[in-house]
Copies of this chain bind each other. A is one copy, B any other.
Amino acid sequence: MNFNMKEAIEVLERTPQALAFFLSGLSDTWLNCNEGEGTWTVSEVIEHLIELEKDTWIPRLAFILQEGESKPFPAIDLNSHTIESSSIEQKLFEFKTLRTQNLAKLKGYVETELNLESTGLHPRLGVVKVRELLSTWVVHDLTHTAQIVRVMAGRYRTDIGPWKEYIGILKK
């Protein structure tokens, strides 16, 4: 096990700003490309990150601390993209704002002696721990960052010609 609250917060507080720097001002061709029907564009990944910032990480932490295993978390819709049309810059700003608020809440819980081994009930996965939820928050940032760059790389799949032999991201 490697989870460490300080190190986890280091990543969580950096993701929105790093993505904002990488994606702000990019051409729509980058932001609106996807990996085929039923897959997400770069913009949709950011919308997904916003949605989970609103209804998943801190709400589920609060739910565990209040309910324990007495009842399961409310289900979330992973395909929900309810955000009104707005620019990528506005979306990235919203993500960053929500993240800042959520990290302030997390730090509040930590100050009141958050028990990482406290358990709650996931509607599909069963018993889960606070440590697992917070680790997943971090890894979720990382997996969707990987998704963003993979989606973008896919645009040049044929353009790179013979170099495709060396480029792992395009081998799937």
A contact set with B: CB distance below 8 Å: 1-4, 6-7, 10-11, 14-15, 17-19, 21-23, 25-27, 29-30, 122, 125-126, 128-129, 131-133, 135-136, 138-140, 142-143, 145-147, 149-150, 152-153, 155-156, 158-163, 165-170
Contacts and interface: CB of A to CB of B under 8 A. Distances in A.
A146 B156 contact: no
A169 B142 contact: yes
Interface centre among A135, A142, A150, A162 (most CB of B within 10 A): A142
A23 B131 CA distance: 23
Contact of A140 (B7, B140, B167): B167
A159 B142 contact: no
Contacts of A132: 159-163
Query: DSSP class of A's interface residues: helix, strand, loop or mixed?
Result: helix
A62 to B, nearest CB: 18
Contact of A10 (B1, B30, B146): B30
Contacts of A131: 159, 161
Contacts of A149: 142-143, 145-146
A147 B150 CA distance: 10
A63 B152 CA distance: 28
A48 to B, nearest CB: 12
A146 to B, nearest CB: 5
A17 B25 CA distance: 14
A15 B21 CA distance: 8
A22 B141 CA distance: 12
Contact of A18 (B18, B156, B163): B18
